[in-house]
């Protein structure tokens, strides 16, 4: 597959992306203050770019964000509405400069110039690349100023996987992201990790809870209350996070996760939910699979970007190896078993 940004048609559907980016040299810079600032900026960029963070996890040297990017609206914000957004988000420099530019253009009766100015902002909205760019740029400026450093802070642009927004693929990806601190051995319960979507939601942050409600509604096709959606997601999350049954040479679980007894307790308390084997997929399928979802979804994306593939490739969907009968496919065949 050729490298480079894939450009969707102008009438593109709502897109869901798992975004990942790491600190240069994979340095461990995210202490409590850095995590708090990054999360604050993430929510501001989310609001400005008019996208939705369904869940996220911020680790010591990288982040994961599951992002929903809607279609651009037919009617764009007015200049006054744009200024209100910038002021509310405390983008003071942008607000002051833009307000002055609009006043000058209106004084000169330059309507075309005003439209061009607004369009520069609109190109930064409803776009996965601009969201990540702005977030990383603003955090870098804050961090470099705070520490007196200069130069690039991030290892690369960012990586993203396009995720099927229908059925269980999106929910599986959300659980994978929220279980990062469990796999890292930082906690046995994601609710106790403050810098992930589930931890924020349990703490009562409404915007985080609404992300999980959207996830559960998309899977079940019916609307649930925030409370019911959070309960359902917890059962799913714990089922996805159960430890491997096998032990290593030191007698420790082959894969860090939640104690099976704790999983059974959660299921008993919240209701039955099938624990899917594909929860144990390798990290590579979630970050390097390029597109992740049902066979039909992956084939649909393959056809849209057919020109980016070799002429001898006839189909796009590749099954996740090691999961016989799994309903999930990827665009890039990694030639690895899902287990391990």
What is the DSSP code (8-state) at residue 37?
H
Parse the chain into domains and list their residue ranges: 79-122, 180-277, 281-340
Does the pLDDT at position 339 exceed 50? no
The token pair that represents 246 in the structure block: 């096998």
What is the DSSP code (8-state) at residue 26?
G
> What's the pLDDT tens digit per position in 245-278?
555 555 555 556 766 666 666 655 543 223 333 3
> What's the pLDDT tens digit per position in 110-133?
999 999 999 988 888 999 999 999
- List, in sequence order, every residue forming a beta bridge with 63; answer none if it has no partner: 21, 58
Please give the C-alpha separations between residue 58 and each of 29, 104, 252, 311, in angstroms, as whole numbers: 11, 42, 26, 40
> What's the pLDDT tens digit per position in 74-106?
888 899 999 998 888 878 888 899 999 999 999
Distance CA 144, CA 152 (A): 9
Distance CA 47, CA 170 (A): 21
In the predicted model, what is the mean pLDDT of residues 197-209?
86
The token pair that represents 78 in the structure block: 């007015």
Helix (H) or strand (E) holding 107: helix 92-107
Please give the C-alpha separations between residue 129 and each of 98, 145, 302, in angstroms, as whole numbers: 22, 24, 20
Residue keyed to tokens 């006043």: 103
Contact 141, 25 (CB under 8 A): no
Please list, residue by residue across 49-66, b when 16 or more beta carbons sit within 10 angstroms of its beta carbon and e when fewer do: bbbbbbbbbbbeebbbbb
The token pair that represents 9 in the structure block: 């048609």
């Amino acid at each position: 597959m050729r490298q480079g940004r894939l450009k969707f048609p102008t009438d593109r559907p709502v897109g869901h992306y798992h975004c990942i980016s790491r600190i240069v040299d994979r340095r461990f810079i995210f202490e409590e203050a850095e995590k708090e600032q990054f999360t604050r900026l993430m929510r501001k960029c989310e609001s400005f770019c008019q996208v939705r963070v369904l869940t996220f996890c911020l680790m010591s040297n990288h982040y994961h964000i599951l992002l929903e990017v809607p279609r651009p609206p037919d009617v764009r914000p007015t200049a006054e509405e744009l200024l209100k957004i910038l002021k509310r988000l405390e983008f003071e420099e942008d607000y002051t400069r833009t307000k002055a530019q609009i006043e000058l253009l209106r004084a000169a009766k330059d309507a075309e110039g005003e439209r061009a100015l607004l369009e520069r902002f609109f190109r930064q909205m409803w776009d996965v690349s601009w969201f990540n760019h702005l977030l990383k740029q603003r955090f870098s400026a804050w961090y470099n100023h705070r520490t007196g450093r200069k130069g690039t802070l991030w290892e690369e642009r960012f990586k993203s996987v396009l995720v099927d927004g229908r059925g269980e693929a999106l929910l599986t990806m959300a659980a994978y992201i929220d279980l990062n601190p469990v796999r890292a051995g930082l906690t046995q319960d994601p609710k106790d990790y403050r810098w992930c979507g589930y931890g924020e939601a349990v703490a009562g942050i409404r915007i985080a809870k609404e992300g999980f409600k959207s996830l559960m509604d998309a899977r079940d096709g019916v609307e649930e209350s925030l409370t019911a959606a959070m309960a359902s997601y917890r059962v799913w999350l714990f089922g996805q996070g159960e430890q491997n049954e096998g032990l290593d040479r030191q007698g420790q679980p082959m894969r860090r996760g939640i104690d099976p007894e704790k999983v059974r307790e959660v299921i008993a308390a919240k209701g039955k939910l099938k624990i899917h084997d594909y929860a144990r997929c390798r990290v590579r399928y979630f970050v390097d699979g390029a597109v992740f979802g049902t066979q039909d979804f992956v084939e649909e994306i393959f056809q849209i970007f057919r020109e980016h593939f070799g002429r001898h490739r006839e189909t796009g969907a590749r099954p996740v190896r090691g999961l016989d009968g799994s309903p999930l496919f990827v665009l890039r065949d990694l030639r690895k078993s899902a287990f391990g």
